[in-house]
Amino acid sequence: MAAGLVGLMLLVACGPDPTVMPTATVPPTATVPSTATPTTVAGATPTPVPPPEGTLRVAVTGAADHRDLHRLVSEWATLFGPSLSYNRLLRFATGPGVPLPSLVVECDLCSEWRRVDQITYEMDVHPDARWQDADGLPSRPVTADDVVFSLERLRTRGYPHVALLDSVDRILALTEHTVQLRLHFPDPDLAIKLASPYAVMVQPEVMQAGDPRTAPVVSSGPWRYQQGLSGQVKLTAWEEYWRPGEPVVQAIVFQPAASLDVGVGVLRGGRADMAQVTEEQWAALAQEGFSSAVVQRQGRGLLFGLNTARAPFADVLVRRAALKALDPHGALADTFGIGSLGVGVPVVDPSWMVDDATLRATFDDPAAARELQREANAEGTAFTLVVANFGEEYVAHGTALADQLRGVGFDVTMDVLSRGAYLNRVWRDREFDAFVGPLPPIDTPNGFLLGLLHSRGSSNVTGMSDEAIDALIEAQAIEPDIARRGELVREIQVRTLAGAWLFMPVISAERWAHTGRVRDLAPAMPMGAGDLWRAVGIEDQP
């Protein structure tokens, strides 16, 4: 690959600005299972308040500042708000048949999409797709011009999601129903980025009629959107939606709760069918007959990193000793309760993940840790571990890791920092020996690989540098074949663990408790998208 092309790809890799770390994306409970199979307890207690027939009720916390998805950064808006009403060109496949974790996409607004060559994609708008009718605005077909308008608006300079389309040069309407995207360079993550819950298709007439931040939500999607003064959101199935069988339920009501504790009270009181819960809350709810599902959250969680730009971690033997000293599963069990670990690269499907044998060989071997220190003449090495204070669990997790490192002879001083101080010290100034704390949300493979792992990555805070890994990252960054790309990504992860630069000791997730009324809940929210809601069912629906 030409050096100029590599540089351009690194510059516009869709990883986030490392100076931006929205608190809404930091998990209150970082819980990820090794598999995503819902946990079900038989005989769930019926809700004492008769629920509306055909309506799913979900207790949620948070809110969004406004309704304009192209100008908004809010997982509340994408998981429980206006994003759910809209179509994107592509969406994330969901349902019990999709192995998790997954970034597999399928058509949403489109009827077909194709890769013409390395830098040309074509999308056919579904011929039955129509805009919803609204006051003074009749329903009409969705056209390729509508798609061009939406994508051009999404990449408006200064808007927060321009990186989704940074690889795109031109967006053209070839026919009334076919859109062509011509790229600056090959981008195998493009389909994933087009499935982003922010990449919604908007009707030009609505956007141009008034302030889109407060305008009614008029979409081509499966739901009609209403939001009350209390913050309650009601999604009602659009009776003229053009995809048969979608959505499954007649309505979803997202009921505002001031906290997870309040949400649990609403669930117990029979006024909700689902609510997010902590592990402590779940222990009690499981005994009461509720069921639960653990939702994986790729690209979110905690990162452990070692600074290779200075002693002691400029020495790979000392870095390997540090990882051998750690029992990440034990630290996770003692703090967040459940979860998984890995390098942290968002993967398209489970075959991309590093194997368990490699993880076992990397960690939890105190004898090997001591031997590596002796080999490096680094016994009793002193360093400071920066711990981000995003809550009690985060500090407890950092303390557990520090204690494990001390257990093999490292002289560890903990420096617990506030959110702002951590962001500045680690992600801006890169002044640390070692750190553990949240990373800015990263949603795509290239966002992680080009941003965090490549030697010239904009978010490479560890100083990681390896020519072989750089070459593998550059090769996968233009590889169109998913299986071959997965092989390259697995090799990158194996080499990263061998070099002992960084890993994610906590990959985030959320546990959702629910009554026996809920069925077919697919535990996935890729990129913060709420595609699971169109497929979830309830027992009493007509």
pLDDT tens for each residue of 375-399:
999 999 999 999 999 999 999 999 9
Does residue 48 have a cis bond before it (omega within 30 degrees)? no
Q: Which long-range contacts (C-beta less than 8 Å, at least 24 apart) are formed by 66-69?
A: 66/213, 66/214, 67/212, 67/213, 67/214, 67/215, 67/217, 68/212, 68/213, 69/197, 69/198, 69/200, 69/202
CB contact at 8 A, 80 and 72: no
Distance of CA 504 to the CA centre of its chain: 14
Q: What are φ and ψ of residue 21, in 5° steps?
A: -140, 85
Distance CA 437, CA 419 (A): 9
Q: What are φ and ψ of residue 531, in 5° steps?
A: -65, -20
Distance CA 339, CA 296 (A): 9
Q: What is the pTM of this model?
A: 0.90
Strand order of the β-sheet with 120-125 is 110-117, 120-125, 178-183, 168-173
Write down the H helix ranges in 237-355. 260-268, 279-287, 316-325, 328-334
Mean pLDDT of the chain: 91
Q: How confident is the model over 199-212, as a mean pLDDT?
A: 94
Amino acid type, 111:
S
Q: Tokens 């906590």 label which residue?
A: 506
Give the model's confidence band at 129: pLDDT under 50 very low, under 70 low, under 90 confident, else very high: very high
Structural element, H or E, at residue 482:
helix 482-499
- Residues present in the chain in total: 542
The pair of three-digit structure tokens given for residue 81, joined into one six-digit string: 């708000």
Minimal CA–CA distance to 185: which of 347, 17, 345, 2?
A: 2
What is the structure's pLDDT at 302? 97
Q: How confident is the model over 245-249, as a mean pLDDT?
A: 95
What is the structure's pLDDT at 541? 62
pLDDT at 39 over 70: no
The pair of three-digit structure tokens given for residue 371, joined into one six-digit string: 């031997």
